[in-house]
Amino acid sequence: MVYAVPANYYTNTSGKIGTDLKAALNSAIKAGYRSIPYGSGTGETVPALRYLYADPSNANNIILIYGGESFASSAYGTSGATVWNIEHCWPQSYGADSGFARSDLFHLRPCKANVNSDRSNTLYGNVANSTGAKTAPACRELENVMWEPPDSEKGQIARGMLYLAVRYEGSGDGGTANLELADTDNISANLFARPIVTGK
């Protein structure tokens, strides 16, 4: 199934730049927005991720972030190397812990639980002189400082970060704070550092 952009979706963005463009995009994104509950019940985030990231080669599996591993869809849990849980690409500690952003599928991905714990709320960026993250060999990490996903995932993650910064302006956003990308991160101000990465 191919998704078609609704007619006139971008009409209000024509000719706009900077903060005016951001405001117009925010308005378009919020129109008709429907949040789903965070959890594993019917109609909640876990079943949605099972559907969105189903392995096309194995109906019983899903594809995990940070390496593309095919993993048992039924193995949802909270911690350890034998289960998966929900990775918030925009960390909850940077403002995505409440309101609509907590369950916004644009930045949620199925992730092996121990990898999720290892990445924690580390910033994205290029990491030199690393043989790989301890729990995710396809990634590179400077522990507690920088996390570099595989090249094949960088574009999706970067687009998700941009989306959240545009979507959540702290007004009428279901209890989510104003989320912003910045040159330097600041947890108390919900400023998540711009990913500095190469690759697609």
pLDDT in tens, the chain (200 residues): 677 888 889 999 999 999 999 999 999 998 888 999 999 999 999 999 999 999 999 999 999 999 999 999 999 999 999 999 999 999 999 999 999 999 999 999 999 999 999 999 999 999 987 778 889 999 999 988 899 999 999 999 999 999 999 999 987 678 899 999 999 999 999 999 987 655 44
Is-contact 9 29, C-beta < 8 A? no
Characterise 55 by phi-psi region: left (phi > 0), alpha (psi -120 to 50), beta (else). Answer: beta
User: Which residues face 186 on adjacent strands?
Assistant: 191
Q: In 73-167, at which residue ranges do the beta strands (DSSP E only) sit?
A: 84-88, 108-112, 123-124, 140-142, 146-148
Is-contact 111 63, C-beta < 8 A? no
Distance CA(180)–CA(167), nearest Å, equals 10
Q: DSSP character for 101?
A: G
